[in-house]
Amino acid sequence: TGFCDTMDHERKLKICLVLAVICSPVLGAEWTADVVKSIDALVGSCVVLPCTVSHPGTYLSTSRLRGIWHRKDKWNENFYHEDSTKILDSFKGRTKLLGNLGQNNCTLEIVQVKDHDNGPFCFRVELVRKDNNEPTKEKFSFVEKCADIKMIHDVPKPKLGPIKTANPGKPYTLTCSVHHTCPSHRPQIKWSRENKDDEITEVHKPIHSGIWEAESILSFVPEEKDDESELICTATFNGGMKSEEKFTLNVKRIENYNHIIIPAVAVAATAVIFGLFCVLMVKKYNMWNRMSRLSRR
């Protein structure tokens, strides 16, 4: 300030503006954040709130950034802070910053979800000094983009498909899938049928806006004995909650015509044998008759 006061007003203004830009390149810059607006959470399980933050200018390392999640109307009530003493007692030990702030990822994880974990949940970022890790005056809170959580008490049921008739001896594929909002602790899917020759493929993919799908694909070769057998798909969520879906396997039967073919063959064989016997008897009778006439002469 003393340096600026020693100069004339116009020159002082220009130089001080240049110094301000050099010394504080991000001060007053446009920071933005994109946070999921609303998301479902299974009570007793976990939920992940997707969040990305961006800023103009050069790269900032994670060590220079501090991410904080707080209540919208009470900035001192923190859901997450790197200093655990500054976190609300009801959230201590249950929140974690999954994202790397240096890579613009501010995603938050909440485990052991309680039905009173009400928000809205808002993100704030602070620039800190390299030497003492103390915050600077550069703080950006995005209270216009906060996440609301809708609590779910009923465990989502898995979905089976495609359901179709199986052909004996031919490969058959059945898919079991379930949607969830906790990719860091995704549901585990198990089948009641897991024979050594069966093949199981697991797929985990995002759907939209923080919704994910866990999928298990069962491939096997059914036999006639599998007809009307029950297949059960069980999904186990983080926290131990389970749900299942059942399916009765329909295997095409190979019609057995032995009860018709064997008697028919037996009758035909008997008829052929009887016919041959008759022919032989006729030939034998004719021969005997000719020999009898010759002997009378």
- The CATH number of whichever domain residue 220 belongs to comes to 2.60.40.10
Residues 234 and 89: their CA atoms lie apart, in Å, by: 35
| 19 located within any domain | no
> Which residues constitute the domain of residue 55?
29-152
The DSSP result for 129-145, as a single string, is: -TTT--EEEEEEE-TTS
Q: Give start and end residues of each alpha helix (H) in 77-211.
A: none
Do 103 and 166 reside in the same domain of the chain? no
| 181 located within any domain | yes
Do 167 and 146 reside in the same domain of the chain? no
Q: What's the pLDDT at 254?
A: 59
Do 38 and 142 reside in the same domain of the chain? yes
Residue 91, helix vs strand vs coil: helix
| 185 located within any domain | yes
Do 108 and 173 reside in the same domain of the chain? no
Residues 235 and 243: their CA atoms lie apart, in Å, by: 5
The pTM is what? 0.73
Q: Strands, E, within 153-289: which ranges?
A: 159-161, 172-180, 188-191, 199-208, 211-220, 230-236, 242-248
Last residue of a domain, one of 127, 152, 177: 152
Q: Give me the number of domains the chain comprises.
A: 2
Do 45 and 146 reside in the same domain of the chain? yes
CA distances from 47 to 18, 146, 210, 268 (A): 46, 15, 9, 75
Please, what are the averages of pLDDT over each run of 10 residues along the chain (297 residues)?
Answer: 46 43 47 94 97 86 91 92 95 94 95 93 90 78 94 96 88 96 96 89 94 96 91 97 94 57 61 68 68 62
| 7 located within any domain | no
| 275 located within any domain | no
| 59 located within any domain | yes
Q: What's the pLDDT at 185?
A: 97
Do 129 and 232 reside in the same domain of the chain? no
| 173 located within any domain | yes
Residues 128 and 68: their CA atoms lie apart, in Å, by: 13
